[in-house]
Amino acid sequence: MTEKTREDSAEWVERIVRIRDNKDEAAFVEVFGHFAPRVKAFLMRSGADAALAEECVQEVLATVWNKAALFDPSRASVATWIFTIARNKKIDALRKQRRPEPEDLPWGPESEPDQAEIIGLQQESEKLGAAIAALPEKQRDLIQKAYFGDLSHSEIAEQTGLPLGTIKSRIRLALDRLRHAMDQR
Contacts within 8 Å (CB) and 24+ apart, 67-71: 68/16, 68/17, 68/19, 68/20, 69/20, 71/13, 71/16, 71/20
Name the residue among 29, 81, 80, 38 with its Cα closest to residue 57.
38
Give per-residue pLDDT as tens, 141-185.
888 888 777 788 888 999 899 998 999 999 899 988 888 888 875
Q: Do the two domains 3-96 and 135-183 of this chain adopt the same fold?
A: no
pLDDT level of residue 7 (50, 70, 90 thresholds): very low
- What b/e string do you get for 58-91 counting C-beta neighbours within 10 Å, with b at 16 or more? bbbbbbbbeebeebeeeeebbbebbbebbbebbe
Name the residue among 66, 92, 100, 136 with its Cα closest to residue 84.
92
* C-alpha span between 16 and 9 (Å, rounded): 11
Q: What is the chain's alpha carbon radius of gyration, rounded to the nearest angstrom? A: 17
Which residue type, as a one-letter code, is found at position 82? I
Q: Does domain 135-183 have CATH number 1.10.10.10?
A: yes
Name the residue among 94, 82, 16, 81 with its Cα closest to residue 55.
94
pLDDT level of residue 111 (50, 70, 90 thresholds): low
pTM of the model: 0.51
Domain ranges for the chain, please list them: 3-96, 135-183
DSSP, res 29: H
Give per-residue pLDDT as tens, 43-67.
888 888 888 889 999 999 999 999 9
Q: Does domain 3-96 have CATH number 3.30.499.10?
A: no
